[in-house]
Amino acid sequence: MKNYLLLFSLVLLTFSCNNVEQNCEVVSNGFTSTEGEQVTMGSQESVDLVMTIDRAWKKRDYEMIKSLVSDEAELSLEDGRVLTGADAFVEMIEADYQKSVVEGGGEWNWTVNYAFAVKPTSDKWGEYVNARFTGSNGIFEEWYQIKDGKLVSWTQAKRSLAPAAE
C-alpha cells in the first residue's frame, strides 16, 4: 500500500508541475520602425538554412540553392546589382565562379566567421540571419531574410581586407 501511495504522489506531482501556465516575458534586444514591435533572438533553424545555402554555394549545387531561395527573392549585391529570384541568384554565382576561378585562377573558398538570427515580434517578416564571410578578395557582411523556410531577401556588403603589416 505504501508503494501505491508513493506512486500516486509522484504521478500527482508530475501532472501538477506540467500543468502550470507559464507567462514568460519576451526578452527584447531592439526595436523596429513598426510601433510596438521589438526584436528578439531568432532560431537555429534559420541559421542552419543559411549555412545549407553556403555549403551548396561552395559546391555549386544549384538545385539545392533553387530549392531554398524564393522565386520572388530580392537579392542585393555589394556592387549595387539587384537580382530577383533563385535562377538569377544561381546565374550570378556561376558567373562569379567562371570569372574568379576558371578565368582568374583564384580560389573558391571562404571562411564563415559567424552567423546569428534575430526576428521581429511580428511573424509577418520571418527571421533575419546576419553572417560574416572572409575570402581572399574581402570581408562580406550579409543579411538573409528567411520566411517559411526560404530565403526571401539578401543584402550583401563588402570591405577590403586590411593590408598586411610590414
Task: Return all residues near 24 (Cβ < 8 A) that are at least 6 apart.
Answer: none
Residue with more model confidence, 137 or 56: 56
CA 40/CA 118 separation, integer angstroms:
6
Residue 72 clears pLDDT 50, i.e. is over it: yes
Residue 9 clears pLDDT 50, i.e. is over it: no
Residue-range domains of the chain with CATH: 39-159 (3.10.450.50)
Overall pTM > 0.75: yes
More confident residue, 59 or 29: 59
pLDDT of 16: 47
Q: In what order do the strands lie in the sheet with 69-76?
A: 39-41, 110-120, 127-135, 138-147, 150-159, 69-76, 82-84
User: What are the residues whose beta carbons fall under 8 Å from the beta carbon of 142, sequence distance 6 or more?
Assistant: 130, 131, 132, 133, 154, 155, 156, 157
Please state the rounded mean pLDDT for residues 127-154: 96
Q: Are strands 150-159 and 69-76 parallel, antiparallel or unpaired?
A: parallel
